[in-house]
A = this chain, B = another copy of it.
Amino acid sequence: MNKQILLKSRPIGKPTIENFEIVDALPPLANEGELLVKAKYVSVDPYMRGRMSDAKSYVPPFEVGKAIEGGVVAEVIESHHANFKTGDMVVAPLQWQEIQAVAADKVTKLDKKTAPLSYYLGILGMPGLTAYFGLLEIGKPVAGETVVVSGAAGAVGVVVGQIARIKGCHVIGIAGSDEKKDYLINKLKFDDVINYHTTKNMEEAITKSCPNGVDIYFDNVGGGISDAVIAHINKGARIILCGQISLYNDTEIPVGPRPQSTLLKKSALMQGFIVSNYASRFPEGVRQLSQWLGKDKLSYQETIIKGFERLPEAFIGLFEGKNTGKLLVEME
């Protein structure tokens, strides 16, 4: 049996188990220039919600009746390419499928010695690079500035906050539980964290945590939380739009206070981005993040769920705020 997970139907609002189907795929065959790979770790990421809808976005939608795709760390079990051999570990955008064939030029070979292999789906992969390039290239943090990050306990947020600390900034996280708050303050050394679930007045809380206003806002969530932060930006502020997870399941166009007047009054910048804009610089990002990890300047936590068939459940959990740090699924 070669299990595969399909998009059975497009979700309306929050995804449910019924939107997925586990089927038995055909035994794959690798041609010349291809590798046969066996999945080891499979990533679930908020951006994948966008691909489940049929609206145009920066990545094409998944097709109904076809396999879901995402980041996967896999082992080469058969090589038809000179640069790879059986036993090599690779990372690539792959199907949610136990064993599959992939073109060798689509994968990146991993160095097992640098870090645990699962890290290449997190801090040394897409989420870590997203934090690195978004914060440094768009945010351009300066020591002493105040940086706010929403979705602070998520795979991207934990890296953003720690890099901002390395750069000498005052770092405030916004997260959804006291457990996450404790982790961010005590383990990752955030200066303060606002638990938006127990905070009645977000604006008041931000005023208190950011007495000098907000210079950089790294936004993973959007919606009312972001409105409250944007109301407190300083002149010349930079707002980095990385995700809008609070809105991903909306079925209508979300409406809210227009940010334009504030951006105008504050000569502020709001910039959307996707990490692939910086693809040519990924090696630099991985090198720097690895170095910080090696020197214990970055701390990293994963939530690993075991069992391929639990992928849909893990993915849905992203929208329930269940994970602290990177959420991924390990094959049993």
Report the Cα distance A119→B17, complex, angstroms.
66
Quick check: is A155 within 8 A (CB to CB) of the other chain? no
Given A58-B265, A265-B57, A265-B58, verify A222-B260 contact (CB < 8 Å).
yes
Quick check: is A255 within 8 A (CB to CB) of the other chain? yes
Residue of B whose beta carbon sits closest to that of A238: B271
Least Cβ–Cβ distance between A165 and chain B, in angstroms: 25
Least Cβ–Cβ distance between A224 and chain B, in angstroms: 10
Residue in B247, B269, B277 whose beta carbon sits within 8 Å of that of A258 in the complex: B247
Whether A257 contacts B257 by the Cβ 8 Å rule is no
Whether B263 contacts A241 by the Cβ 8 Å rule is yes
Whether B267 contacts A274 by the Cβ 8 Å rule is yes
Least Cβ–Cβ distance between A214 and chain B, in angstroms: 15
A302-322 Cβ-contact flags toward B at 8 Å (1 or 0): 000000000000000000000
Report the Cα distance A9→B309, complex, angstroms.
68
Residue in B243, B255, B260, B274 whose beta carbon sits within 8 Å of that of A226 in the complex: B260
Quick check: is A65 within 8 A (CB to CB) of the other chain? no
Whether B254 contacts A255 by the Cβ 8 Å rule is no
Residue in B226, B257, B271, B274 whose beta carbon sits within 8 Å of that of A253 in the complex: B257
Whether B256 contacts A258 by the Cβ 8 Å rule is yes
A221-240 Cβ-contact flags toward B at 8 Å (1 or 0): 01100100000000100000
Report the Cα distance A90→B242, complex, angstroms.
48
Quick check: is A77 within 8 A (CB to CB) of the other chain? no
Least Cβ–Cβ distance between A243 and chain B, in angstroms: 7
Whether B260 contacts A265 by the Cβ 8 Å rule is no
Least Cβ–Cβ distance between A225 and chain B, in angstroms: 12
Report the Cα distance A246→B268, complex, angstroms.
20
Whether A254 contacts B258 by the Cβ 8 Å rule is yes
Query: Within 8 Å CB of A241, what residues of B?
Result: 260, 263-264
Whether A273 contacts B277 by the Cβ 8 Å rule is no
Quick check: is A266 within 8 A (CB to CB) of the other chain? yes
Quick check: is A270 within 8 A (CB to CB) of the other chain? yes
Query: Within 8 Å CB of A267, what residues of B?
Result: 58, 271-274, 277
Report the Cα distance A256→B264, complex, angstroms.
16
Residue of B whose beta carbon sits closest to that of A223: B258
Query: Within 8 Å CB of A56, what residues of B?
Result: 265
Report the Cα distance A263→B277, complex, angstroms.
14
Whether A269 contacts B266 by the Cβ 8 Å rule is no
Chain A, 145-190, CB within 8 A of any chain B CB: none
Q: List 5 A-B contacts (CB under 8 A).
A: A222-B261, A255-B257, A262-B272, A263-B270, A270-B271
Q: Using a CB–CB distance below 8 Å, which chain A residues touch chain B? A: 50, 56-58, 219, 222-223, 226, 235, 241-244, 247, 253-274, 277
